[in-house]
Structure formats: structure tokens, C-alpha cells
């Protein structure tokens, strides 16, 4: 595997890096960003994964959220993958909510997507091995958080791998993709028409049976996508019936943007570090 350090910058005492590599799982060239805290004390460092939303790359969170101040304060590394496979030979769609930039963190089973769109395997097999080599003094402890489509990804990744992750958090996540337009479009395209095949990629289904990790969800009341794409009712009902303890917060007046994310990001970091 070819791994190239593309750029690096000092931020709040730590180091913000961007890498490029050839992915064997996705069969294309990928980028990811990684923040390494200063760690002057030489302590063991845990790792938080951030999964971004529709249309995003690994740059959005690293450049807009200001998370580096928190990551160095809490002395935690942060891994930011891209959302989807990329490149001129990778299948794409004219819509902004499908194709490159909208991989939905699933393993596609339908042609032509199945060749490249194996984002779940990328995040559970290939990229963790790379991260473990790049984080000095890695403690082996991990948690995962994300936004919107990335919130969906964080919940699915965490609920399907409870032995790997210590906690999950999400900003404005797609909680029930099987029942909303974004999810139905993506799942039909990537997974086919059999809705039974969709259940293992839907947090509202997974929360019924999966041993729940500590979960924090924050949603803005003025989010323009909330009513149509992000409703929490069935997810919370299933979580309660399965006796899973979910912290769900509705924040009055906040929207879907990075202004919303950056406002409550410190609360999410504190939540994760309390379990890491």
C-alpha cells in the first residue's frame, strides 16, 4: 500500500495531517485526515472517528469545526475518513445525495456500485489498521461520532461493533434511513429492492437487538431536514423497549450547519472522553 503525507499543519499544539493512499477495499485512491495531539506527557492516546455528511470530504470537519482545540485539550487523536470512494473510474450520480460524496457507509451489493462502494469494510478493516500505525502511543480505545449521513454511519458502525467502540455520538443523524427519502434512495441503489437487506444498515433496527453503547445525539429544532429526514420517534421507541439508554437532546433554534456542530462539539468530546 502506498501512503503519502499530503500536507501537515500545527494546530493548538498538535498536528493536523492529510494523507492519500491506494485503497485495496475501495479499489481507488482515497484521502483521509488525522489529528495528533501534542502529547508532551507521552501518555497513551485514544482515537475518535468522525464521519461526515452528504457532499462532504475529510476537509469539512477539519477546516470548519475547530475541533483541534478540543482534541489537544483532551489529548485524543481524531481520524476523519472521506465519505465515499472517488475518482473518474468510480460510479457516480448526477444527484448530490447519491454516488461520490454520498456513500452512506454501507457495503453495496448492486452493480455497478458494488466494485467500489464498500465503505463499511473500509472503516472496519482497512483504515483502522492504518490508523493504528499512525497514532503514536495508541491506547487501542476508540469511539465514533458523525453528522447527518455521518451520524447514521457512526451509529451503524458502533452498534454493529460494540466490542470495538466505547461510545457513539451524533449530530442530526439519519436515524431511520429505511423510512426517509435520503435512505430509501441510497439503499435501493446500493443494496437493491429487498428491504430485509436494509435492516442491518438502519440504526432504528439495530438498536432493537444490539447491546447499546453509551449514545449521545444532538439535534437542532430549526434544522430544515428534521421533519422529512431526521425524525427520532421510532428510534427512541425501539431503544426504550430494548432498555437502551440514549441521551437525545433537542437544541432550540439550531440548524444543520457547522455553526450548530461547533457550538456543541465540546459537550460531545467530554462525553467521549468520559468513556475513553
At 64, which CATH number?
A: 3.40.50.1820
**What is the per-residue pLDDT for 44?**
97
Catalytic residues: 148, 223, 256
Please provide residue 46's backbone torsions phi and psi, each rounded to the nearest 5 degrees: -80, 170
Q: Please give the tally of structural domains in the chain.
A: 1
211 has a pLDDT exceeding 80 = no
Helix (H, G, I), strand (E, B) or coil at 148: coil
Q: How far apart are CA 147 and CA 218, in angstroms?
A: 10
In terms of Cβ atoms closer than 10 Å to its own Cβ (0-12, 13-18, 19+), residue 243 is: exposed
Helix (H, G, I), strand (E, B) or coil at 233: helix
**What is the per-residue pLDDT for 212?**
73
Pairing of β 246-251 and β 215-220? parallel
Going by pLDDT thresholds of 50, 70 and 90, the confidence category of residue 1 is: low
Q: How far apart are CA 132 and CA 112, in angstroms?
A: 32
Going by pLDDT thresholds of 50, 70 and 90, the confidence category of residue 244 is: confident
Q: What is the DSSP letter of 114?
A: G
Q: How far apart are CA 102 and CA 52, in angstroms?
A: 10
**What is the per-residue pLDDT for 2?**
86
**What is the per-residue pLDDT for 243?**
86
Instruction: Return the sign of the alpha-carbon dihedral for residues 117, 123, 124, 125.
Output: positive
182 has a pLDDT exceeding 90 = yes
**What is the per-residue pLDDT for 210?**
73
Task: List the domain range (segments joined by +) for residue 59.
Answer: 3-273
CA angle in degrees (0–180, nearest 5) for 181-184-60: 70
Contact 107, 121 (CB under 8 A): yes
| Rounded mean pLDDT, 4-10 | 98
Q: What is the DSSP letter of 118?
A: B
Q: Would the pTM count as exceeding 0.95?
A: yes
CA 163 to chain centre: 17
Amino acid at each position: 500500500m502506498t501512503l503519502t503525507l499530503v500536507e501537515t499543519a500545527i494546530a493548538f499544539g498538535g498536528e493536523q495531517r492529510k494523507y492519500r493512499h491506494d485503497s485495496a477495499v475501495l479499489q481507488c485512491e482515497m484521502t483521509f485526515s488525522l489529528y495528533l495531539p501534542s502529547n508532551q506527557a507521552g501518555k497513551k492516546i485514544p482515537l475518535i472517528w468522525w464521519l461526515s455528511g452528504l457532499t462532504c470530504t475529510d476537509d469539512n470537519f477539519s477546516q470548519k469545526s475547530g475541533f483541534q482545540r478540543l482534541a489537544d485539550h483532551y489529548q485524543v487523536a481524531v481520524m476523519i475518513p472521506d465519505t465515499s470512494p472517488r475518482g473518474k473510474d468510480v460510479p457516480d450520480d448526477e444527484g448530490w445525495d447519491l454516488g461520490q460524496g454520498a456513500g452512506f457507509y454501507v457495503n453495496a451489493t448492486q452493480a455497478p456500485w458494488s466494485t467500489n462502494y464498500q465503505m463499511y469494510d473500509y472503516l472496519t478493516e482497512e483504515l483502522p489498521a492504518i490508523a493504528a500505525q499512525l497514532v503514536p502511543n495508541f491506547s487501542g480505545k476508540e469511539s465514533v461520532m458523525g453528522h447527518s449521513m455521518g451520524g447514521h454511519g457512526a451509529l451503524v458502525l458502533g452498534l454493529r461493533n460494540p466490542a470495538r467502540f466505547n461510545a457513539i455520538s451524533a449530530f442530526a443523524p439519519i436515524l431511520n434511513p429505511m423510512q426517509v427519502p435520503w435512505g430509501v434512495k441510497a439503499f435501493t441503489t446500493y443494496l437493491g429492492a429487498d428491504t430485509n437487506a436494509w435492516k442491518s444498515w438502519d440504526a432504528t433496527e439495530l438498536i432493537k437487538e444490539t447491546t447499546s453503547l453509551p449514545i449521545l445525539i444532538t439535534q437542532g429544532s430549526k434544522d430544515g431536514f428534521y421533519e422529512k429526514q431526521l425524525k427520532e420517534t421510532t428510534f427512541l421507541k425501539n431503544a426504550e423497549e430494548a432498555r437502551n439508554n440514549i441521551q437525545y437532546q433537542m437544541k432550540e433554534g439550531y440548524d444543520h450547519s457547522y455553526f450548530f456542530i461547533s457550538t456543541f462539539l465540546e459537550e460531545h468530546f467530554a462525553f467521549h472522553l468520559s468513556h475513553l
